[in-house]
């Protein structure tokens, strides 16, 4: 009798777990699951940013403390990457970094306009970019993504800028007029 009850309980648990996976309840990549399972997406975005290179004379500003994958020990175009989930909405998967500029902003913009278009990004001019930043859209590994270049401060030669490629974990449409999270 004991064995029948135990095997009955094991069977019920197995059916519940199998059903959970079948309907996405336990699937890490299912919508609404936060940042779990976002590693491949992060690596795809890292490759997309790395393909752009850096303008001559640009230097990465590697963050002191790494958060959500962080950039400790990195020295290339990608100094930060991960998934940002503050539980207030849809998680944001990203890769990018902050840099010290090599001169006038127009030189930085020229570099990224040329490199991004050559890598398949579509330039989306946005008149409401007060800092003179750039925004591009493209599908990265099947996910609609944004690429943004934003500048620190409003002076034309303030020197600091940030490049970030990212997308929503739920694969919602990527639009340049949507405000992006800026981390300096």
* Mean pLDDT over the full length of the chain: 75
Range from 70-84, 92-106, 118-132 carrying the lowest mean pLDDT: 70-84
What is the reported pLDDT for 130?
Answer: 59
What is the reported pLDDT for 158?
Answer: 64
Give the three-state DSSP class for 122.
strand
What residues contact 135, with CB distance under 8 A and at least 6 apart? 123, 124, 125, 126, 129, 146, 147, 148, 149, 176
Residue-wise pLDDT for 118-130, tens only, equals: 999 999 876 555 5
* Contact criterion met (CB below 8 Å) for 102 and 108: yes
Q: Is the pLDDT of residue 155 over 70?
A: no
DSSP symbols for 12-78: HHHHHHHHHHHTTSS-TTSTTSTTTT-HHHHHHHHHHHHTT---TT-EEE--SS--TT--TT--SS-
Domain boundaries, the chain: 1-30, 33-168
Residue-wise pLDDT for 11-45, tens only, equals: 445 544 444 444 444 444 444 468 888 999 999 99
Tokens of 28: 């890490």
């Amino acid at each position: 009798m004991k064995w029948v009850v135990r095997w009955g309980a094991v069977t019920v648990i197995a059916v519940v777990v199998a059903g959970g996976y079948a309907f996405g309840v336990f699937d890490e990549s299912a919508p609404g699951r936060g940042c779990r399972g976002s590693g491949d997406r992060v690596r795809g975005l890292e490759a997309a940013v790395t393909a752009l290179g850096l303008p001559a004379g640009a230097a990465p500003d590697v963050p002191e403390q790494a958060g959500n994958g962080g950039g400790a020990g990195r020295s290339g175009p990608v100094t930060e990457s991960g998934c940002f989930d503050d539980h207030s909405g849809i998680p944001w998967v990203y890769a990018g970094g902050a840099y010290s500029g090599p001169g006038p902003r127009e030189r930085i913009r020229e570099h990224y306009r040329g490199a991004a278009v050559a890598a398949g990004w579509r330039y989306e001019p946005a008149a409401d970019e007060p800092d003179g930043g750039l925004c591009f859209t493209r599908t990265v590994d099947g996910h609609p993504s944004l690429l943004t270049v934003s500048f620190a401060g409003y002076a034309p030669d303030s020197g600091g800028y940030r490049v970030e490629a990212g997308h929503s974990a739920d694969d919602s449409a990527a639009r340049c007029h949507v405000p992006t999270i800026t981390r300096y």
